[in-house]
Amino acid sequence: MPAHTGTGAHFPLTLLISTYNWPEALALVLASVRAQRVLPDEVVIADDGSRAPTRDLIAREARTFPVPLVHVWHEDTGFRLAAIRNRAIAAATGRYLVQIDGDILLHPGFVAAHRAHARPGHWVQGSRALLGEQVSRRLLAGESVALGPFMQDLNHRPNAFHAPWLAPFVRGPQDPMTRVRGAHMAFWRDDLVRTNGYDEEIEGWGREDSELATRLDHLGVRRRNLKFAAVAYHLWHPQANFDAIERNHERLLRTRRERLTRAARGLDQYLSPEDTP
């Protein structure tokens, strides 16, 4: 792979969106992508086994979407976010991947901010403001709602302030174990190839993102935090099922203890020979 490109240069950027059986939320996310001041070069949807309504939505959107819209799907055999993200990473053509969940609405300057913030040898942890239940229901019902830091029914309000000039001065936590949120991250694709992407031994909700961040750190890929520029709003939803969290946390601790850098079962299953290190 070519060397990383520094600030200001153009490099192909893929927006990777994970989803599962919530087409109403995904439609709002895709509308916020259409509204970007600077579009990604492509959008890849990592679909963890959704039924026909999600497939039909993506097919309709793809007909008029302003950039290529790729749907990557696997069978629903339980929560396998790590596996479907690996498939989507393999399908992506961008050198830089911005990863969000399918319930994250984007400020119009979101993609431009990520492009400006990308640096060699780093991955990015983004932030998000949390929309409350009532405003989320209004948005999902098709009501027009102006999103911003002064709106009602909003949590983590400081994350809704769009002040890009502040972003370079906000250091934030550097430890990959601290407040890692896979709902909004960004990586150079070749760094993911080196670490073999997500660990597919992690199934069920939780820790797949922290475990990957730990392996990247072991490879010398450092964390950067992005606040006040790539503003994002997380739709309200009921809490996830935490049944697997203890088992997944043990796997994370093992990665840290043994200083692992590659997933044993990961991204390389889906890569072409020229992509593998």
Tell me the pLDDT tens digit for each residue of 90-130: 999 999 999 999 999 999 999 999 999 999 999 999 999 99
| Domain containing residue 52: CATH number | 3.90.550.10
C-alpha span between 182 and 100 (Å, rounded): 7
- 277: confidence class by pLDDT, cuts 50, 70, 90: low
Residue 2 domain flag: no
Residue 160 domain flag: yes
> 26: which 2 tokens?
């995904």
Residue 180 domain flag: yes
Under 8 Å between Cβ of 13 and 111: yes
Note the pLDDT of residue 272.
83
Candidates 269, 92, 274; CA nearest to 196 is 269
Residue 3 domain flag: no
Range of the domain at 94: 13-275
Q: 226 forms bridges with which residues in the sheet?
A: 126
Number of domains in the chain: 1
Cα-only R_g, the chain: 18
Candidates 200, 219, 20; CA nearest to 103 is 20
Residue 83 domain flag: yes
Residue 91 domain flag: yes
Residue 40 domain flag: yes
Start-to-end CA distance of the chain, whole Å, equals 9
**Which pLDDT tens digit goes with each residue over 133-185?**
999 999 999 999 999 999 999 999 999 999 998 888 887 777 767 778 889 99
Which segments of 39-91 does DSSP mark as H helices, in order? 52-64, 81-91
